A and B are shown apart, each in its own frame.
Chain A
Amino acid sequence: MNLLILITLPLLTAFAVLLSPKPQHARVFSLAGATLQLLIAVLLFLQYRASVSNGPWAFESMYDWYPSWHIGLHLGVDGISVAMILLTAFVVVAGVLVSWNVEKMPKEFHFLLILLSLGAYGFFISLDLFTLFFFLELAVIPKYLLIGVWGSGKKEYSANKLALMLMAGSALVLIGILALYYAQPAGAGSFDLTLIGKNNIPESTQKVIFPLLFVGFGIFTALFPFHTWVPDGHSSAPTAGSMFLAGISMKLGGYGCLRVATYLLPLGATYYSNTIIVLAAIAILYGAFATMMQNDLKYINAYSSVSHCGFVLLGIGMLTKTAITGAVFQMVSHGLMTALFFAVIGMVYERTHTRLVAQMGGLMKVLPFITTIMFIAGLCSLGLPGLSGFVAEMTVFMGSWEKVETIYRVITIAAGMSIVVTAVYILRAVGQTAMGPLAHEEYKGYRDASWNEKLAAIILVLGILAIGLAPFWLNDLVTPSTELIMKKILSSK
């Protein structure tokens, strides 16, 4: 299939939303667009499975854009990006469904949602660093507006912080990309990922460029200590906003770290791998412990995101095939799981108008469906077998155990401890919210999830189960691509 459709369809949807005659039509358009996109994504997945094994990139297509800068719209996917696209499609549909009843400026809201998704899709399918960067930044401002206009709490502050930190990240990425452009043999400078991948860059240069790119993308995926936009941003964002942030936006970073930084600069990656691993381990444990102390459901989930994304970075830093595969798994799994969690938190918040764990209790009596979903999300986050989280984390563990030296062993075990801490805070949060005696009398009158909320939750749960119960399809999808990356890393040594 021609990948252009993946970015044209959201574009059209966005226009349809913008030009929709009545505000309440906007949501219909956006839902239609998102659903169609989901179908296309599934189709892409099926076609990819059918057409795989002819070269690293499938469905390649090349359009000149700025020939004098050797910039082209070079599209193509491999297993990893297909997985990411699937994830995005799922989360987008769920997000649109959850925000079905936005009263305040629904038109703009859905427009921004779709725009954000457009950025993500474009990012995942572009093989040209410039367009990749273009789409990466395209997704920043929608987040800012979503948080700032529709958010809650100290929204302006959080929106600013998020926008600026992400902008700083992309600034670093820009520098890195330009440096890459000029690091290639004179005249042959190019932004094309496939071309850069071919010619090998001297190690000294790689050592300079890699940190720029990795930290730049790392800021997006909550690389310690650049993660502080995560708690504030997520907690102030509207429900769909947090879903997109944690479910999609943070994955842009992880994908970039893998596809751009690690794949193009293997020597740099090997050189810095220990640093990355240590930072990731810190993020995992420290995020988990910080989560233990939070009282706001959104903060709890945001900090746990820091901890979980640590696994992504850990997997990437370990530089073994299994670990990297695990990192990709974790990206997909965390995307679905955390989106689900935020969706549920939003549902609860709409009813109780509080997110403080202490204020809640016994909601299982009045909101059986929502609390059940909450349990599923929680169990997935603490890595219960049968749900996606388990698969991802175990793969990362397996992969990092392949590294023999004691330091790696210790770090892996330390990361392993986090699954206990995770159990502690998840049970604390979910148990306090759902179980126990009913906290307030007025909670009695609450109505359980409406059709759109149910649908959203079910879609995400299906995704989680699909990975958790039958990981082999995802494995077959991702592993060949990670093998290619590994081959490049090993050959460069």
Chain B
Amino acid sequence: MNAMPATIYIILIPLLPLLGFLIFGLFGKKYFKTSSGLVSIILISLSFLLALYTAYTYFFILGRTDGVYQAIKPIQLTWLSFTQALSIDMGILLDPISVMMLLVVTGVSLMVHIFSLSYMKGEERFPIYYAFLGLFTFSMLGLVLSSNIFQIYMFWELVGVSSFLLIGYYYDRPSAVAAAKKAFIVTRFADLGFLIGILVLSYHAQTLDFQTLIQRLATPGTVQFSSAVGSGFLGISALTWGLSLVFMGGAGKSAMMPLHIWLPDAMEGPTPVSALIHAATMVVAGVFLVARLFPVYSISAPIVLRMIAFIGVFTSLFAAIIACTQTDIKRVLAYSTMSQIGFMMFALGVSGYSGEDGLGYAASQFHLFTHALFKALLFLGAGVVIHYVHSNEMKDMGGLRKQLPVTHITFLIACLAISGIPPFAGFFSKEEILMAAHEHEPLVYWLAILTSGLTAFYMFRLYFGIFWSKPFRNEHAHGHEGTFPLLAPLVILSIGAVGAGFIPFGHFVSADGRILEMPLHVGFSVLPVSVGVAGILIAFWLYQTKNDRPDRIASAWKGLYRSAYHKFYFDELYMAVTKGILFPLVGKPAAWFDRNIVDGAVNASASLTQGVSDRIKGMQSGRVQPYAVYFLIGVLLLSFFLLYIWIR
């Protein structure tokens, strides 16, 4: 590993937020009651600048040798070694995607920090909030920088916990607590798969280090590869098992079907948190994980990749349908997040490894990047709206464009971006994805087209519902739109949402590290764009002004509407499994068994002894002659027994 002291500073990028967490966690209450916000903004912006510098140095100076981006490992120290081969190393791995993620995480996190400054003003646990944000940023950065599959698992867990803490930030709200628990437990369940996957892969690869593991498992012919493919379980090779299990972990974090149920509830957290964790960064960890191990997937287990593709596209369609029916604006955004992540997933799924085939990979990373920008923007905008209206429900909104001009414009930009209307960022990334899908999986392609139409529709349903439809009247909505910290992030992000599309992304990030030109064929673009426009027009027709068309349509497609409105009854299903099967059929019997059988045996032995001693008390009759009889019987028995022994 070419450890270069020049890049040692990278360790600071995650450590600065951690520092914030420690300071505010320990002393926040006393000393940083109000200043904690500013301090942590300074810290995070420092690490953002460092991240920028890192990106610059990596992409333009160090990273590329003879046209291929190499992975760089500035730091690596052994943390816990199980055997000679297997050891958890704490290291930093720089390669295109991790550097790109560095930028995304620090950038969005910075925006959210600034935004929260006024959004969370007056909260009594203000410092704790920033502490948690710091913790999350730290763990997320650690996750993206991980050089060791076990290291990524650790940060994976940490991210989960910080998300738990932030969802449950309003801990006195039962719904928030429930949502936090749900998020943690569901992802935990997925992580079990991840863990076992790690065990399988590491056992066969005889390493936990990413590069070595990839190198060994992605090159057919190595001993490890053949052992991984050779041994199997239920007729499926160990390698396939391992990779699918690892993907299970990713699916959990990225809310893929059927492990998605926690994401909508997670909206109980403060809106900026949703913007950071449940839109831009944490939820794409799954995509990142698959991308991290992409060579292994695409070279050694294309079947798994195919599965990923279908899961991704179905999730995205499914989420889009639900999103059309929700009325809580944050939930709508949550489902749209699910759907967009679905895009990224199937983009990976339909991608090949080298050269032109790698389009899907690059496209998915590209979409990850742009999505982070405009989805964060959407959430923050929603935050402003909620801040202003004091409600999440669309029925309390409408006609806000006059009261919230800035938000209105930025929100519109974001909506256009996500609907894939040129020249906004979303357009470019989505085009590439569709192109990749079109080349590899026609079915996926058509479903994706449908989904992007739906996307445009529900986003503009949201937009019109908030800013148009009916004139706004709300007594306890206060005067002005918001202070500088509230609006600055919106503006900055909207610039990103407009401009990010023009980045030649393929030059930086591609599956094999070589430069990949991402062409745009106008002919190809016509269909998706027109579908998007169609969706917008339908939304305009239905929601631009208040009318009864939506209800008529809803009642026309009653069944579909209701089931979509109830999220296709997934929560109920899970409830049935846990409350209906796990608790009464496993937990209760176990507890009962322990109290009555195992413990009962112990008590029974005691009472048995007592009983015997009561039974035989007649022996001690208190009369001399029976005693003598016992004496005599004893003598006779013993002598007879002894004679018997002696004769034998």
Query: Taking beta carbons and an 8 Å cutoff, which residues of A are in contact with B?
Result: 161, 164-165, 225, 227-228, 231-232, 286, 289-290, 292-294, 303, 321-322, 362, 364-365, 368, 379, 382, 384-386, 390-391, 394-395, 397-399, 401-402, 406, 409, 412-413, 416-417, 419-420, 423-424, 427-428, 431, 434-438, 470-472, 475
28 A-B pairs with C-beta separation under 8 A: A228-B598, A286-B590, A286-B594, A290-B587, A294-B591, A321-B83, A364-B171, A379-B161, A382-B188, A384-B157, A385-B155, A385-B158, A386-B158, A395-B80, A397-B199, A401-B199, A401-B203, A409-B233, A413-B196, A416-B196, A419-B192, A419-B195, A423-B184, A427-B181, A431-B168, A435-B168, A435-B171, A436-B171
With contacts A435-B171, A471-B79 known, is A293 near B185, CB below 8 A? no
On chain B, the residues within 8 Å of A228 by CB distance are: 594, 598-599, 602
On chain B, the residues within 8 Å of A434 by CB distance are: 171
| Complex: A8 Cα to B71 Cα, angstroms | 58
Q: Mark each residue of chain B from 16 to 54: 1 if its CB lies under 8 Å from any CB of chain A, else 0.
A: 000000000000010000000000000000000000000
- Least CB distance from B522 to A in Å reads 50
* CB atoms of B590 and A437 under 8 A apart: no
Q: Which of B153, B185, B587, B588 has the most CB of A within 10 A?
A: B587
On chain B, the residues within 8 Å of A417 by CB distance are: 192
- Least CB distance from A292 to B in Å reads 4
B81 CB-CB contact with A under 8 Å: yes
B384 CB-CB contact with A under 8 Å: no
B586 CB-CB contact with A under 8 Å: yes
Known pairs A228-B598, A401-B199. 5 more at Cβ < 8 A? A406-B233, A419-B195, A437-B174, A472-B78, A472-B81
B82 CB-CB contact with A under 8 Å: yes
B458 CB-CB contact with A under 8 Å: no
B310 CB-CB contact with A under 8 Å: no
On chain A, the residues within 8 Å of B538 by CB distance are: none
B172 CB-CB contact with A under 8 Å: yes
| Complex: A419 Cα to B199 Cα, angstroms | 15
B641 CB-CB contact with A under 8 Å: no
| Complex: A435 Cα to B184 Cα, angstroms | 15
* CB atoms of B150 and A394 under 8 A apart: yes
Question: In chain B between 172 and 190, which residues have their CB closer than 8 angstroms to a CB of chain A?
Answer: 172, 174, 177, 180-181, 184-185, 188-189
* CB atoms of A427 and B594 under 8 A apart: no
On chain A, the residues within 8 Å of B180 by CB distance are: 431
B518 CB-CB contact with A under 8 Å: no
Query: Taking beta carbons and an 8 Å cutoff, which residues of B are in contact with A?
Result: 29, 78-83, 86, 150, 153-155, 157-158, 161, 168, 171-172, 174, 177, 180-181, 184-185, 188-189, 192, 195-196, 199, 203, 233, 583, 586-588, 590-591, 593-594, 598-599, 601-602, 606
On chain B, the residues within 8 Å of A431 by CB distance are: 168, 177, 180-181
| Complex: A161 Cα to B234 Cα, angstroms | 47
* CB atoms of A293 and B172 under 8 A apart: no
* CB atoms of A438 and B590 under 8 A apart: no
* CB atoms of A293 and B590 under 8 A apart: yes
* CB atoms of A420 and B188 under 8 A apart: yes
On chain A, the residues within 8 Å of B192 by CB distance are: 416-417, 419-420
On chain A, the residues within 8 Å of B181 by CB distance are: 427-428, 431
| Complex: A395 Cα to B79 Cα, angstroms | 12
| Complex: A424 Cα to B631 Cα, angstroms | 65
Which of A165, A322, A424 sits near B82, CB closer than 8 Å? Answer: A322
Q: Closest B-chain residue to A306, C-beta based?
A: B594
Listed from nearest, the 10 A-B pairs whose CB atoms lie closest are A385-B154, A293-B591, A289-B590, A435-B171, A228-B599, A292-B587, A290-B590, A471-B80, A435-B177, A398-B82
| Complex: A122 Cα to B83 Cα, angstroms | 32
| Complex: A413 Cα to B150 Cα, angstroms | 17
Which of A286, A386, A436 sits near B177, CB closer than 8 Å? Answer: A436
* CB atoms of A437 and B172 under 8 A apart: yes
With contacts A397-B195, A434-B171 known, is A322 near B185, CB below 8 A? no
On chain A, the residues within 8 Å of B606 by CB distance are: 164
On chain B, the residues within 8 Å of A227 by CB distance are: 598
- Least CB distance from B253 to A in Å reads 15
| Complex: A121 Cα to B312 Cα, angstroms | 58
On chain B, the residues within 8 Å of A471 by CB distance are: 79-80
| Complex: A401 Cα to B174 Cα, angstroms | 40
Which of B154, B171, B189, B583 sits near A390, CB closer than 8 Å? Answer: B154
Q: Closest B-chain residue to A434, C-beta based?
A: B171
- Least CB distance from B240 to A in Å reads 15
| Complex: A316 Cα to B168 Cα, angstroms | 39
On chain B, the residues within 8 Å of A232 by CB distance are: 599
| Complex: A340 Cα to B606 Cα, angstroms | 34
